[in-house]
């Protein structure tokens, strides 16, 4: 496989990828139900002559490219959903859906994967095996990977390895157009918890007749933070954030309960399970010791994202050959953000790579999930090239 020729073909697709991206950027949709986005992707794939399955995991779209020779199936995954944010970029192709914006770059992921599909089709004869193109909804929540897996996206034909890509500035060390790769745990689990501290309300001047849930909560918050500072190995990252706390209605009334909500991020599954268990023990112990009671709900969301060594090495080598060694950055420490690509990586070996999309020289610096988020469009062909080349060369590396 001549990767330099493939690189040039990818460069020639740049304008087409930009067009797809701008079209998709104007029609952002949220969650699991993405009628316009799914229809757009379906049409683009059909126009290329690729067989398509729709409504996989509600609104997921799956294309299949069959190579000229038998071999394994390699999957490429792009997420499709946007965020409930009012766009303020002022771009000519800004969102036409009020209160909705592609503020995480998933529009570019779809466009780059369509570009990869086009390259793969052109090289179908050389392709050993099949490439499954997975367009997934609801990455930003409630999660689209799991429903697609339940709907059989990894079967028939069975997926042997998978690759996903994220654009932007999630890892600051990856400059514009470079590819960041990482080994092992790269992103954290994303869990949510709810605690209700139940006391007994009453007159603010007569605390002896009440059980004050505000004071119990004050003790509880400190104790929960100590699970991280005193029970977790200091060199292992773990986050416990209480983002919402609510209780009381008047300055002189002791309320009957206080509610807390928050998130836990871990990069190791055993530590994740451990803190979930220890949190409830602490909540139970403290509320009981202080004469109150509680409700505790811990919702396990996305698991830690863990890359497979062999697939990561393959993609890293491919990107080096394709774009030059200086364009590939090895990520040294994980981010505590989460990604539901992790569900695919739990089931099949694969990896998740990062395409630098911020570009301070062009003033493109705003962070993900901000109303002025944007990316450097000039990098798109590079993402497309790495996706297509990694899929095309995968079986070769295996024998």
Catalytic positions are: 81, 139
Q: Closest Cα to residue 185, out of 304, 347, 358, 317?
A: 304
Q: Which is nearer to Ni ion, 104 or 254 (CB)?
A: 104
Residue nearest to Ni ion (CB): 104
Cβ 267 to Ni ion shortest distance, Å: 18
Q: Is 104 in the site for Ni ion (CB under 5 A)?
A: yes
Cβ 104 to Ni ion shortest distance, Å: 3
Evaluated on CA atoms 190, 314, 390, 315, the torsion sign reads positive
Q: Which is nearer to Ni ion, 104 or 391 (CB)?
A: 104
Question: What would the DSSP string read from start to end of 138-158?
Answer: -TTTT-SHHHHHHTTTTTTTT
- Beta carbons of 138 and 101 less than 8 angstroms apart: no
Q: Which is nearer to Ni ion, 354 or 394 (CB)?
A: 354
The phi and psi torsions of 67 (rounded to 5 degrees) equal -80, 175
Q: Is 305 in the site for Ni ion (CB under 5 A)?
A: no
- Beta carbons of 345 and 59 less than 8 angstroms apart: no
Cβ 336 to Ni ion shortest distance, Å: 14
Dig out the tokens for 95 from the structure: 């969102």
Which of 31-39, 103-111, 183-191, 373-381 is the region at the interface with Ni ion (rule: CB under 5 A)?
103-111
- Please give the size of the binding site for Ni ion, defined by CB under 5 A: 1
Tell me the β-bridge partners of 52. 63
Which of 102-110, 142-150, 220-228, 300-308 is the region at the interface with Ni ion (rule: CB under 5 A)?
102-110
Question: What would the DSSP string read from start to end of 225-280?
Answer: HHHHHHHS-TTS-EEEEEEEEEE-SSTTEE-SEEEEEEEEEESSHHHHHHHHHHHH
Q: Which is nearer to Ni ion, 9 or 79 (CB)?
A: 79
Length reported for the chain: 399
Q: Is 385 in the site for Ni ion (CB under 5 A)?
A: no
Cβ 169 to Ni ion shortest distance, Å: 11
By CB under 5 A, the residues from 253 to 282 that bind Ni ion are none
Distance CA 20, CA 287 (A): 55
Please calculate the CA angle 257-263-268 and round it to the nearest 5 degrees: 135
Q: Which is nearer to Ni ion, 106 or 196 (CB)?
A: 106
Cβ 358 to Ni ion shortest distance, Å: 14
Which of 100-108, 117-125, 130-138, 382-390 is the region at the interface with Ni ion (rule: CB under 5 A)?
100-108
Residues engaged in binding Ni ion (CB under 5 A): 104
């Amino acid at each position: 496989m001549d990767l330099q020729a493939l690189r040039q073909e990818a460069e020639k697709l740049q304008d087409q990828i930009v067009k797809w991206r701008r079209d998709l950027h104007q029609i952002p949709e949220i969650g699991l139900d993405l009628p316009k986005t799914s229809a757009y992707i379906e049409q683009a794939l059909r126009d290329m002559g690729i067989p398509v399955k729709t409504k996989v995991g509600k609104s997921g779209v799956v294309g299949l490219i069959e190579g000229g020779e038998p071999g394994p199936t390699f999957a490429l995954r792009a997420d499709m959903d946007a965020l409930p944010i009012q766009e303020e970029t002022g771009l000519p192709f800004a969102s036409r859906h009020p209160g909705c914006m592609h503020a995480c770059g998933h529009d570019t992921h779809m466009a780059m994967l369509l570009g990869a599909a086009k390259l793969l089709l052109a090289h179908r004869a050389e392709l050993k095996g099949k490439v499954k193109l997975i367009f997934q909804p609801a990455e930003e929540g409630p999660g689209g990977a799991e429903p697609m897996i339940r709907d059989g996206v990894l079967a028939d034909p069975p997926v042997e390895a998978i690759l996903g890509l994220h654009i932007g500035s999630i890892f600051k060390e990856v400059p514009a157009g470079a590819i960041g790769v990482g080994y092992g745990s790269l992103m954290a689990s994303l869990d949510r918890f709810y605690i209700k501290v139940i006391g007994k309300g009453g007159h603010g001047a007569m605390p002896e007749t009440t059980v004050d849930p505000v004071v119990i909560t004050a003790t509880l918050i400190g104790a929960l933070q100590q699970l991280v500072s005193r029970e977790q190995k200091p060199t292992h990252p773990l986050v416990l954030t209480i983002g919402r706390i609510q209780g009381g209605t008047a300055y002189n009334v002791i309320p009957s309960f206080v509610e807390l909500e928050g998130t836990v991020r871990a990069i190791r599954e055993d530590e994740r399970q451990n803190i979930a268990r220890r949190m409830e023990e602490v909540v139970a112990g403290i509320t009981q010791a202080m004469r109150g009671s509680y409700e505790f709900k811990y919702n396990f969301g996305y698991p830690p994202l863990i890359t497979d060594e062999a697939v990561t090495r393959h993609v890293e080598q491919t990107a080096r050959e394709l774009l030059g060694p200086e364009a590939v950055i090895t990520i040294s420490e994980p981010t505590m953000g989460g990604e539901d690509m992790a569900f695919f990586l739990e089931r099949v070996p694969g990896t998740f790579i990062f395409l630098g999309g911020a570009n301070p020289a062009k003033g493109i610096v705003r962070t993900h999930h901000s109303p002025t988020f944007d990316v450097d469009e000039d990098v798109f062909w590079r993402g497309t090239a790495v996706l297509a080349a990694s899929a095309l060369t995968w079986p070769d590396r295996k024998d």
